[in-house]
Chain A
C-alpha cells in the first residue's frame, strides 16, 4: 500500500479468481478493481498452440470486460511460470497495451526446482501477508527464470523491485515503460 495516494482513484486488474480478502484489501483505496479470472483461458490457449505457431495473445478479448485500460496495477500472481517463453513475450506485449504509463505489474516466480502442477489461487490478507491455495497433486519442474532472462521476456516492462521470500518465491514488481 506504500506509495498509494488517498486522492487518486486507481485501476487494478486481478488476473486470478475473485477473492473476498483481496476485495476487502483494496477497498481501503479509492479504486476500480477488475477481476479477470482469465488464467485457465490463457493456459488453454497455450495448450491449443501448434509447435511452430507464433502466439497472438489478445488479453482484452480473453478477459472480456468493458473499460479495461489505463491500469495502474496488474496482479499476475504465478501465471508467468506456466507460460512458454514465446507466450510470455506475447503476454507482456498484450498486457502492456492495457497499462497506464508507469503502471505496475506484480508477479511471483518459483526459484525451487519444482512448482505446483497448476497456478495457485492467491489472495491478499494485508500489506505484508498473502494466502495461496495450491491444487492437490504432485509438482512439475519449475522454469526458474533468472532475473535477467525475465527482464528480457517481459517486453515493455522493467524490473523495479525483486525480493526472495521465505517460501522460495521471488516476488517481482515490474514497471510499465
Chain B
C-alpha cells in the first residue's frame, strides 16, 4: 500500500516537473509552459489586420496592422517582421518591428532586435547590439539594461570620468 502510494506520488511529481521544464522558443528565450497559454504565429504566416485575445503570443511570421493583448505578453521572434502598433503587458522584440510599442509593464529589445518607432512603457530594456530609432517615453520608474561584455574583436573602449 505504501509502495503504491509512493509510485503514484513519483509519477505525479514527474508529470509536474515536465510541465514546468522551460521550453526553448528562440535564441535566448525560454518560457514555462504551465504558467500561461500561448499561441505561435509561424514563420510562413502573414497576417494583416487587428490581432486581439487573452493569451500570450509569439510571432515568428509577419504581421501588419494592430496587436492588442492588453493582459498578456507579445514576443517577436528573430524571424518575426512586424509593421504594427503593439499593446500588451510585456513586449519582447528579437526581430524587426516598425510601429509603436505600448507596454504596461515592460518592453525588452534584445541584441538582435531592430525597431523603428516609439516605446511607451514604465520599464524599457535595450540590450547591447539592439538597433533602435525613435523615442522612449518613460515615467519615473526604474529601467534596467543588459550590457554584453566586449570581446577582443570589438573596437577599443574607454571610460570617461
Please report A residues at the B interface, Cβ cutoff 8 Å.
Answer: 6, 18-21, 23-24, 26-37, 64-67, 108, 122, 125, 128-136, 165-167, 169
Cβ-closest chain A residue relative to B115: A18
Contact sample, A vs B, 19 pairs, CB 8 Å cutoff: A18-B126, A18-B133, A20-B128, A23-B136, A24-B143, A24-B144, A30-B138, A30-B139, A33-B135, A33-B138, A65-B133, A67-B135, A108-B160, A130-B159, A132-B158, A132-B159, A133-B156, A133-B157, A166-B161
Q: How many contacts A-B (CB < 8 Å)?
A: 102
- Flag if A27 contacts B160 (CB, 8 Å): no
Which residues from A are CB-within-8-Å of B52?
A: none
Contact of B157 among A28, A33, A37, A132 (CB under 8 A): A132
> CA A32 – CA B157 in complex, angstroms?
28
Q: What bracket does the count of chain B residues touching chain A fall in?
A: 20 to 34
Tell me whether A33 and B136 are in contact in the complex, defined as CB-CB below 8 angstroms, given that A28-B142, A129-B161, A134-B158 are known contacts. yes
> CA A108 – CA B146 in complex, angstroms?
26
> CA A135 – CA B141 in complex, angstroms?
34
> CA A149 – CA B130 in complex, angstroms?
37
Which residues from A are CB-within-8-Å of B155?
A: 133-136
- Flag if A23 contacts B143 (CB, 8 Å): yes
- Flag if B135 contacts A35 (CB, 8 Å): yes
Which residues from A are CB-within-8-Å of B150?
A: 133
> CA A140 – CA B145 in complex, angstroms?
33
Which residues from A are CB-within-8-Å of B143?
A: 23-24, 27
